[in-house]
Amino acid sequence: MPLGKLHVEVPDEEYWRKQIKCQYACPVNTDARGYVRAIARGDFESAYLIARGPNPLASICGRVCGAPCEAACRRGAVDDAVSIRALKRYVTERFGAESFTKETLKPIELLKRVFSHGKQRDCSGSEELHAFRNLLDGIETRKQDGEAVAIIGSGPAGLAVAHDLAMLGHRPTVFEMEPMPAGMLAVGIPAYRLPRELIEAEVEVIRSLGVEFICNTQVGKDISFEEIRSKFKATVISVGAKRSRIIPIPGGEGPGVFGGVEFLRDVSVRNTDEDSILPRLGKRIVVIGGGNVAYDVSRTVIRQIGYDVSRSMLRQANVGEVHLCCLESVEEMPADDIEILEGHEEGVFLHPSFGPVEILRKDGKVCGAKFKKCLRVFDEQGRFSPKFDEDDMTIIEADTVIWAIGQQSDVSFLKTDGDVKITDRGLIETNDRTWQTSAPDVFAAGDITYGPRLLIDAVASGKKCARYVHAFLTGKQLSESHDYVHINIPNYSREADYEKLPRTEIPTMGAAERSKSQSTVVEHGYDEQQSMREASRCFDCGVNTIFDSEKCILCGGCADVCPELCLQLVSCDRLTGEATLNESLLERYGDVDLSGMSAIIKDEEKCIRCALCAERCPVDAITMERFGFTSCWEAGVAAK
């Protein structure tokens, strides 16, 4: 029986970049591998500078990033992904904006350190500060004459736009409707996850660049959109998604029913302004939704009603219960596993596979919520298409219901017949490449352009938008160049038993203690020993096994010694792939019968970079080499 074909790729620069899966998955191309390996060798300051290079909100991301890098981490295919976000937190606490005291705060010095460290990077993408080095010459002089830019909204996208535009010599002014900068970071994420003093420190670095923040100012109410446009050369809209979505069901409107986003905002503002009014909660609260926001709401409610009550009493009748109901099964829930676990520890009662039917009322007041059993959330094609059992109904007694099923933006400050177009989804229509709206002087970034996504997606959107605003203001298109290199590592080695180490659990405060306060941080974070141990689990995917076909004698020793069985010696006629494969074989061997020729192929997903194959090779045909690349932006020809 003939052996089957094997699909293979011929490596090029993009192939090698994709091997660094954590960096490739990060929307701002943070070299997570770089800072994790720096932590493993105890070089903590370098680790911070690598993490901060492309990300103006690195300290915030160390606490609450959705961590697409961890989802992509190759280690996760073996056992558990490296705890990349927690490692970032460890170094930002030591060297980031929050590490300064008010007496010693010199945020501009932090940026100078980041910028000067750029030349020491192995893998620096297009979002790195030093990628703008050719544009930053004479920045101090240019700032005096820099163009004024308005930014509406100071969430992660707005902060990223302001940061990069200020670095490029412009004068951003940020309009924020809330009493403090940072948008949903400050009013939508609970303080037990993201301390407010950390947000203030991160914003202070951006303010030190000359960015002006005008708070308590709602566009469309306190100042018109048209007035802003008349005063600024360019305007960026980055208002995010600050309104809760609801399902129009009977009883859904009226007293006792709130939006989750609005509730979180009211609690956050109440913590800084005692004169503000919180919504009046009952004793039994139903939260509808299955994502992280639903758990943020549920856990915030528990803290609000449980300041002086121990966790054991929370389970007693008539003291205060929080029930979380969602369409999804536990396996399908979009909430992070840690949110579900910690919510359970704090007393959240979970009801999966429940679809809301009606909010029950008695004398106008909420008395319960009616649900039907959800049999399926998605169809066979993975599309949202819930199916219910109409005969299986459940009623949960409640006096308060909070929606947390999604978020939407508020663009009521824009005229429906204006020159900034709005899509059918209520988003702002933008050019996919330049982030420019239908009005040439107006740009948009973040959730308002594509709907709710991760914090780091908003940061990436803001940084990209800033580049095109800069091009619009200066009249010069920006062009990106790349340099790639492979560097041989003659004495490559790894930590002992690195491949056997289990993921280091992140220390947390006990449920009873943390539930007593809105501001008591749940996660303690790693100490030095824990961070170095966890970092040593990284496979260092920037290192690759490079085969020299001129030296190779096809002995198969590398395949025999490989502990993960990721190498195979196969006949060339079994290989199939893209056109580049045929071109490569034809260029090297001409039109010959491939059945008599052999090749070594490698499964990159399995490789743990142990170097046993290189050690075993009798003719030194295998080397361990680090792939590096550098991106750089330059001002090109005048924009048309």
How many angstroms separate the CA atoms of 438 and 418, rounded?
10
Q: What is the mean pLDDT of residues 142-152?
A: 84
Residues 359 and 255 in one domain: yes
Q: Does the pLDDT of residue 314 top 80, yes or no? A: no
Per-residue pLDDT band for 317 (boundaries 50, 70, 90) equals very low
268 and 381 fall within a common domain: yes
373 and 430 housed in the same domain: no
CATH number of the domain enclosing 451: 3.50.50.60
Question: Residue 195: inside a domain, yes or no?
Answer: yes
Look at residue 275 and tell me if it is in a domain.
yes
pLDDT at 307: 46
Mean per-residue pLDDT over the chain, rounded: 90
Model pLDDT for residues 341-372, shown as the tens digit of each residue: 999 999 999 999 999 999 999 999 999 999 99
| pLDDT at res. 311 | 38
Q: For residue 266, is pLDDT > 80? A: yes
Pair (374, 464) in one structural domain: no
Query: Of 72-76, 134-138, 193-197, 571-575, which gets the smallest average pLDDT?
Result: 134-138
Residue 571 has pLDDT above 90, yes or no: no
Q: Do 403 and 426 reside in the same domain of the chain?
A: no
Residue 260 shares a structural domain with residue 281: yes
Average pLDDT over residues 383-398: 96
The stretch 611-618 carries a mean pLDDT of: 96
If one compares 164 and 594, the residue with the highest pLDDT of the two is 164
How much is the pLDDT for 319? 44
**What pLDDT score does 143 carry?**
63
Please name which of 632, 572, 564 lies closest in space to residue 600, comparing C-alpha atoms.
572
* Residue 27 falls inside a structural domain: no
At residue 527, the pLDDT reads: 98
Q: Cα(232)–Cα(228) distance, rounded to whole angstroms?
A: 6
pLDDT band at 469 (very low <50, low <70, confident <90, very high): very high
Residues 6+ apart with CB under 8 A from 228: 150, 152, 175, 219, 235
What integer pLDDT is reported at residue 390 of this predicted model?
96
- Look at 11-20, 556-565, 593-602 and tell me which has the smallest mean pLDDT: 593-602
Report whether pLDDT(261) > 50. yes
Q: Is the pLDDT score of 312 beyond 50?
A: no
**pLDDT tens, 281-298?**
888 999 999 999 999 999
Residues found in the chain: 640
In a domain, 393, yes or no: yes
Tell me if 510 is assigned to some domain.
Answer: no
Shared domain for 401 and 298, answered yes or no, is: yes
Same domain (yes/no): 216, 301: no
Same domain, 284 and 370: yes
pLDDT of amino acid 113: 85
Q: Please say if the pLDDT value at position 203 is more than 50.
A: yes
At 301 the pLDDT is 93
> Per the domain annotation, does 444 fall within a domain?
yes
CB atoms within 10 A of CB 283: 14
Q: What is the pLDDT of residue 1?
A: 35
Same domain flag for 310 and 380: yes
Question: Where does the pLDDT of residue 540 fall: very low under 50, low under 70, confident under 90, or very high at 90 and above?
Answer: very high
**CB-based contacts of 191: which residues, under 8 Å, 6+ apart?**
268, 271, 518, 519, 521
Confidence of residue 131 (pLDDT cuts 50, 70, 90): confident
User: Does position 100 have pLDDT exceeding 70, yes or no?
Assistant: yes
Question: Could you tell me the pLDDT band of residue 22, with boundaries at 50, 70 and 90?
Answer: very high
Domain boundary among 428, 451, 474: 474
Number of domains in the chain: 3
- Residue bearing the bigger pLDDT, 91 or 512: 91
Q: What is the pLDDT of residue 597?
A: 79
Q: Are residues 251 and 384 in the same domain?
A: yes
What values do phi and psi take at 631, rounded to 5? -110, 150
Question: Which position has the higher pLDDT, 492 or 109?
Answer: 492
CA-based angle 302:451:131, to the nearest 5? 105
According to the model, what pLDDT value does residue 102 have?
A: 58
Residue 510 has pLDDT above 90, yes or no: yes
pLDDT at 275 over 70: no
Tell me, yes or no, whether 295 and 415 share the same domain: no
Token pair 């993408």 is found at: 125
User: Residue 85 belongs to what H/E stretch?
Assistant: helix 84-95
Q: By C-alpha distance, which of 129, 155, 113, 162 is closest to 30?
A: 129
Structural domain ending residue among the three candidates 474, 499, 529: 474
- Closest Cα to residue 163, out of 213, 206, 198? 206
Split at pLDDT 50, 70, 90, the class of 478 is: confident
**Mean pLDDT computed over 521-549:** 96
Q: Is pLDDT at 377 greater than 50 in this prediction?
A: yes
Position 116 scores a pLDDT of: 84
**pLDDT over 70 percentage in the chain:** 90
Residue 492 lies in a domain: no
CA 362 to chain centroid: 44
Q: What is the CATH number of the domain that holds 588?
A: 3.30.70.20
Rounded mean pLDDT of 244-259? 95
Q: Is residue 39 part of a domain?
A: no
Residue 108 pLDDT level (bands cut at 50, 70, 90) = confident
- Kind of pairing between the strands at 257-259 and 400-403: parallel
Reported as a pLDDT band with limits 50, 70 and 90, residue 118 is: confident
Closest CA to 10 of 639, 471, 638, 602: 602
The pLDDT of residue 310 is above 50: no
Per-residue pLDDT for 104 more than 70? no
Single residue among 388, 407, 426 that ends a domain in this structure: 407
Task: Residue 370: give the domain boundaries.
Answer: 245-407
Two tokens at 608? 């743990």
Between helices 32-40 and 84-95, what is the axis angle to 10°? 70
Amino acid at 62: G
Quick one: which of 154, 404, 392 has its CA closest to 298? 404
